[in-house]
Structure 1
Amino acid sequence: MQITVTDAASHWFQEELALKPGEAVRFFGKVYGQTAVHDGFSLGMERAEVSQPIGQVEKDGITYFASDSDAWFFADYDLAIDYDAQLDEPKYAFPKH
């Protein structure tokens, strides 16, 4: 699994979560909601220590990752994170790999 984060998205996460270099953001599947690839599940995120990553990328000193406990959610997909300026929030895409 590959994770990509645009410059604008990285800036949003740093501002909104008051992240400092060396910290990390974990992405995970959660019950309720919908994504382009999952009905009944949405994407959650939280500040966390990197643990058992199945995919990770470092941008601006921040590590963005998904752990093996969420391999079911990301199976067959990568995670592309961009920023939606109109909504002032991240937007997520799940390209097949």
Structure 2
Amino acid sequence: MALIVDKPAASWYKSEMELKQGDHVRIYVRLGGCGSVHPGLSLGVMQDEPRDIGVEDQVEGIHFFIEQDNMWYLEQKDLHISFDSEKEEIIMEVK
């Protein structure tokens, strides 16, 4: 399992969330939304300090991570986070 954050996505988060070098961004499982892996669940994003990192990717000086207790959501697959510049939106794909 891996977390792969593309550089344009990291830059978008950095700008939108006013992140600075060394900040941490947690990807977590939340109730509701349009998740493609588990019906009724989706992924949320927030600035937070890690407690027990399951997987991490550092891009553009930002540490993106998923806590160990949320790793079940990926079902042994990778999470790819990219940015669609035409639609100006983040795309999260579990594959």
The two structures share one fold, judged by TM-score above 0.5: yes
* Cα RMSD for the two superposed structures: 1.2
Partner of 2:90: 90
Counterpart-to-counterpart distance in 1, 2:19 and 2:63: 10
Q: Structure 1: which 5+ runs fail to align?
A: none
What displacement does 1:74 show?
2.2
Contact 2:36 2:42 in 1 (8 A): no
User: What SS does structure 2 have at the residue aligned with 1:37?
Assistant: coil
- In the TM superposition, 1:1-97 aligns within 5 A as 1-95=1-95
Of 52-61 and 83-92, the range deviating more from structure 2:
83-92
1:38-87 CA-to-partner distances (Å, cap 9, x unmatched) read 21111101001122111001111100000012122223221100001233
What displacement does 1:15 show?
0.3
Identical aligned pairs, as a percentage? 28
